[in-house]
Structure 1
Amino acid sequence: MTADDRLLSPFTGYTRAHWAESADRMLLALRPFASADHARIDLPGRASAYGRDSDSLEAFARSFLLAAIRLRGESGADPHGLTQWYAAGLRAGTDPSSPTAWPRPDRLDQAKVEACSIALGLHLSRPWLWESLDSGDRERIVAWLGTVVGQEYPPINWVWFQIVVETFLRSVGGPWSPEDVDRGLRVHESLYRADGWYSDGPERAYDHYGGWALHVYPLLWAEMAGELCPDGLRRAWRDRLTRFLDDAVSLVGADGSPLLQGRSLSYRFAAAAPFWMGAMTGASDLAPGVLRRACSGILGHFRTNGAPDARGLLTLGWHREWPEMAQSYSGPGSPYWAAKGMLGLALPPGHPVWTDVEGPLPVERTDVHATLSVPGWLVSGTRRDGLVRIVNHGTDHSVPHDERADSPLYARLGYSTATLPPLVGTTVGHPSDNSVAVVDGAGRRTHRNGFETLGCELVDGVGRAVSRARAHWVTTEDDHGPDHGSGRRGTVRHGPTVTMGSLLRGAVEVRAARVDSAVGLDGASRLEFSGWPVADEVLPAVGTAADPPRAEVTGGRLVSCVVGLAGLDAAEVRRERHTSPLGEHVAVPLLQTAQTPRVGRVYVAAVVLAGADAGETALPTVTVRPDGPTDTVTVRWPDGSTSVLRLPAPAPAAA
């Protein structure tokens, strides 16, 4: 076990040797699960929707990318025989006569993804692996990869899988299509929004894919493509990455946890990939020591919490194994896309990102106040507890006016580096945390998917955002389609239009909502504000109070509470079990109206997430008054400063 170096790395103790040790342990742990010819790696666990053959290829391809990164950074030094081990697997996997031959990309969509990891790995390890193969081996590999040419790819990050494969094929005299590459590049440009942010598709899909895919692949490709990549495009991508990293570094908690938001979270420390890309290309204003601090913090967070496991395997889950958090496309080998989060090992030991002293993360220097207008996020990081939280008025993995159910990983009002919405169980179909919802007499909660963003800005250090949702109930039980992160479809019952807004300062969000119509309301309807979910291995402590109405949960190192400031009457704590990878028990504080919500009235609560050791959180007071066609919520913070939140006039009724 490598000893920590607190002089070079005062925050994490991690050096390049820690990273190399982690990578080698992960790679060697796979070997007992490999076929004799190394083409298959059959890991234990639930199969993906694509089946075991696909999952086996996935484990090989993604771990091969990690092996290639190790070879690149060590200039071919290979004490574990990675070159020959993976060469054998490539030889058998691409031989159509072999009993362990891989499914072809033109016959299985998931193979299109894995072909990219294989092509990128061959590029990175070219002097040591590709050049050691005989002509027959090369011809079979080219033939297998060549089946991607002319294939259709969805207009998301997948276009890079075709671009990278065909560019590698071009470099070795194989088949490729300039039209495929050009089409993919055009799709990529269509995904760019502004301020360094990409959406992974036409929907409001802002998540880790923007970093570990849509920033990483273009600049890796620019290096392998040579003159195929125009200089202007290369410069634009570098500038976008620079801007993105300024935001991304503020989303890492002091404990190294990335934001728990979006799909494919089982890739874990792949979240470090864009920071490494900043170091590899120089496309970052962040000091090399800060880049390494972010990356080592992320890796250290998972190592400390049990990933990889005692066998050295990355399993489906977040910290420890928890298969329920996976999307349907995820198999036992999927987590090995964490290899992208180890790109720094492709850099030599003398690179400044390895030799400079670690610098602090933004949340370790001071409290963080930021507004990310593209995804519609208000960001608050608090130095006293190291937590980073966002309030979300812009992202739902959907499009305006869509009426699917809310996706727990995208459509909640809040996400953080220490909490995660419940992902299974009876409440998942009905928003149970960080929501403003209308609850009917049967306990069903409305969804806000398809909402409109009405503003997102930072004013005097306080985040302010407003959105409007056509609230709707969705019966999703009959939707048995694959889970790719979006909300479920089903029979829709319309509810009222709800305008909601947030002011975020420190650990406190002042959340306001106004019901703008009576659609779907009856005598049993209630308006509900739910707070942050707290998960713990032991039963969290909970409490409620009536004056003012207050619901509070304390568990692990967190305190979550919701306190009524205007119009909310009844406090409750909802308890669940086995619905989160963060702990056996989950508790969510919430407030409801005692009566049917009144159309046109503004309801307000303080929603708090803080560290249990951070001390008492002082709460603001509010005044609500009509201001012409709008409603104005004036917030007086405990230090005497004030902020104003305006809820715009209701939208005209639909014809």
Structure 2
Amino acid sequence: MKRRDFIGSMAGTAGVLSSGAAPAAAPAPGSAADQRTYQLALLQKMAMPVLQAMAKGQLHKVFPLELSPTWYGGDPRFCYLECFGRLLAGIAPWLALPDDASAEGRLRRQMRDLALQSLAHAVDPASPDYVAWRGGNQTLVDSSYLSNALLRAPDALWKPLSSQTKQRLIAEIQGVRRFEPPYNNWLLFSAMNEVWLYSVGAEGDIVRLGTAIRKVNEWYAGDGWIKDGETFHFDYYNSYVMWPMLLEILEQMVKLKLAVFRDKPDQLLAQTLKRSQRYCELLERLISPDGTYPTMGRSLTYRTAVFQPLALLALRRQLPASLPEGQVRAALHAAHQPIWRNPTNFTPDGFLTLGFAGHNPAIADTYSNNGSMYIASTGLLALGLPPADSYWTAPSLDWTQKKAYANLPFPRDYAVNY
């Protein structure tokens, strides 16, 4: 069976591949073990073609760019940074798991080595895969996903790098300051870069960092939702950017004792966690009994990145008490099925395509390209928990909408005021 076909053909299950060939035997459909095996196979399917190419300095050569039919005209060279940075942000926690002798452990070692080689190419001006750090302001966005990946797995992705590659990365991230962020979610991209620089002992910009934190808190609209700037957008940018980045930036600010004017980062972090937990309660309720979810707002082609906050809080062991681990895991497994079962989500060579539940470029936004699609990997963040973790071993539980439409008891829902 060809690599590009196996996920769609296994009726909701998939095995971990040892070398990109035939899948291993999968556990019983619907079991907790099967749910992890499915996600791991999906991670490998997304990541391996990108990392294998970039580790050899060949991503620019083999990655087939697909731009939105309504492309806004920006320099498409930054699409490769989009692809690599967003992919790494999603797989970083899994790469950070300790080595072992299992098939998964051997796969992880291989992919980690490929990721480290790819990082060296990304900042080497002599490499064919040197990414377009100066190609346009979209670089600000996707440099931050790369910074986010390094924050999520410093021991796996930062410490092993050569001193030359480290210095090049720092210089390129600092150089992205040439692009001024607009007053919307982009402020968090700038802040993510700055807090990462502080985390590795480099010179950061406290003004960029503090401004982003203050403005995003001013934009809190209530009941778990943040406006994107001065305007409320009923879309999934709270998932793609707002809650994950705000949480992780504040966590680093507390750790590094970085001040926010008239506020204390630890208090802001506690408040942000409660608010993001509320958002996750609402997010879980959007998953229908059959795993579909509402197609609303911008950037729907980001697919299951919609569920990044649920996966992130599971990874951090910070799910609210109202969302048991087995319920969240089963809900996310159900939500992956309608999206990823269509084989046209991938090109014949294994790269992601523009679309939603399959190749559908007509729904792409003007700024979208197939490199953008790799943010979908962030829906797999919970793979950073080892197989024996309770998240992966707890019995599967029905999620809220499944209970509701089966006429089973389910919790009422009320707005919160924190």
Scaled by the length of structure 2, the TM-score of the pair is: 0.80
| C-alpha contact (below 8 Å) 1:314/1:335 kept by paired residues | yes
- Greater helix proportion: 2
Change (3 A) 1:184 1:307: farther
User: 1:70 matched to which residue of 2?
Assistant: 94
Aligned CA RMSD, in angstroms, stands at: 2.6
Query: Is 1:295 paired with 2:345?
Result: no
2:368 aligned with 1:333: no
Provide the rounded CA distance (Å) in 2 between the counterparts of 1:75 and 1:121: 19
- CA distance 1:326–1:299, shift in 2 (3 Å): same
Distance 1:274 1:143 in 2: 30
Which residues in structure 2 correspond to 1:167-206 (within 5 Å)? 167-206=195-234
Residue identity matched to 2:246: P
Higher relative contact order (CA 8 A, sep 6+): 2
Q: Where does 1:157-172 land on structure 2 (aligned, <5 Å)?
A: 157-172=185-200
**Are 1:323 and 2:361 matched, yes or no?**
yes
Map 1:82-121 to 2 at 5 A. 82-104=111-133, 108-121=136-149
Checking the alignment, whether the CA contact within 8 Å between 2:46 and 2:351 is kept in structure 1 is yes
Cα offset, 1:44, TM superposition:
2.2
List per-residue Cα deviations over 1:316-375 (Å, max 9, x = no partner): 0011111111111111211100011111112222332212111112221124xxxxxxxx
| Secondary structure of 1:252 counterpart | coil
Distance 1:99 1:313, change over 3 A: closer
**Which residue does the alignment assign to 1:305?**
342
Separation of aligned partners in 2, 1:32 and 1:134: 20
- CA 1:38–1:173: 2 relative to 1, 3 Å: farther
How much has 1:26 moved relative to structure 2?
1.4
Residues 246 and 68 of structure 1, relative CA distance in 2, 3 Å threshold: closer
Cα deviation digits, residues 127-153 of structure 1 (max 9, x gap): 123211221111111100111347521
**CA distance in structure 2 between the aligned counterparts of 1:94 and 1:19, rounded to whole angstroms:** 30
Contact 1:33–1:42 (Cα < 8 Å) also in 2: yes
Judging changes above 3 Å, is the alpha-carbon distance between structure 1 residues 235 and 32 closer, same or farther for their aligned structure 2 residues? Answer: closer
Instruction: Tell me the distance in 2 between the aligned counterparts of 1:50 and 1:123.
Output: 28
Structure 2: distance between partners of 1:78 and 1:166: 34
Alignment of 1:103-502 (within 5 A): 103-104=132-133, 108-149=136-177, 151-225=179-253, 226=255, 227-228=257-258, 230-279=265-314, 280-284=316-320, 285-306=322-343, 308-309=345-346, 311-367=349-405, 383=406
Q: In structure 1, what residue type is equivalent to 2:318?
A: G
Q: Distance in 1 between matches of 2:279 and 2:61?
A: 36
The whole-number CA distance in structure 2 between the counterparts of 1:151 and 1:311 is 34
Q: In structure 1, what is the Cα distance between the partners aligned to 2:140 and 2:106?
A: 29
Identify unmatched segments of 5+ residues in structure 2: 1-13, 16-25, 259-263, 414-418
Distance (Å, rounded) in 2 between the aligned partners of 1:41 and 1:336: 18
Deviations for 1:107-131, whole angstroms, at most 9, x for unmatched residues?
5211111111111222223212321
Tell me, in whole angstroms, the C-alpha distance in 2 between the residues paired with 1:215 and 1:261: 18
**CA distance in structure 2 between the aligned counterparts of 1:182 and 1:126, rounded to whole angstroms:** 23
Cα contact 1:308–1:314 (8 A) shared by 2 = yes
Partner of 1:58: 82
- The match for 1:26 among 26, 42, 46 is 46
Residue 316 of structure 1 aligns with an amino acid whose one-letter code is L
Q: Judge conservation of contact 1:29–1:313 (CA < 8 Å) in 2.
A: yes
Cα distance in 1, alignment partners of residues 372 and 202 from structure 2: 28
Partners of 1:264 and 1:42 in 2: CA distance: 25
Q: How far 1:96 moved relative to its partner?
A: 3.2
Q: In 2, are the aligned partners of 1:69 and 1:343 still within 8 Å (CA)?
A: yes
Distance 1:32 1:91 in 2: 13
Give the AA of the match of 1:60. F
Percentage of matched positions with identical amino acids: 25
Q: Which moved more, 1:13-22 or 1:56-65?
A: 13-22
In structure 2, relative to structure 1, the CA distance for the partners of 1:78 and 1:156 (3 Å cut) is: farther
Instruction: Give SS of 2:117's match.
Output: helix
After superposition, what is the alpha-carbon deviation per residue over 1:622-644, rounded to whole angstroms, capped at 9, x for unaligned?
Answer: xxxxxxxxxxxxxxxxxxxxxxx
Instruction: Please state whether the residue corresponding to 2:242 is helix, strand or coil.
Output: coil
Q: What stretches of structure 1 of length at least 5 have no aligned partner?
A: 368-382, 385-459, 462-655
Q: Partners of 1:35 and 1:249 in 2: how far apart? A: 37
| Helix, strand or coil at the partner of 1:115 | helix
Tell me the CA shift for residue 101 of structure 1: 2.4
1:79 is paired with a residue whose SS is helix
Asked if the contact 1:123–1:168 (Cα under 8 Å) also holds between the matched residues in 2, the reply is yes
Shift of residue 259 of structure 1? 1.1
Greater percentage in strand: 1
Distance in 2 (alpha carbons) for counterparts of 1:59 and 1:135: 25
| Structure having the higher Rg | 1
Query: Secondary structure of the equivalent of 2:156?
Result: coil
CA shift at 1:274, angstroms?
Answer: 1.5
**Residues 141 and 40 of structure 1: is their aligned pair in 2 closer, same or farther, counting only changes over 3 Å?**
farther
- State the secondary structure of the residue aligned to 2:132: coil
Q: Is the 8 A contact 1:14 1:296 kept in 2?
A: no
Output the CA distance in 2 between the equivalents of 1:236 and 1:362: 25
TM-score, L = length of structure 1: 0.52
Aligned-partner SS, 1:193: strand
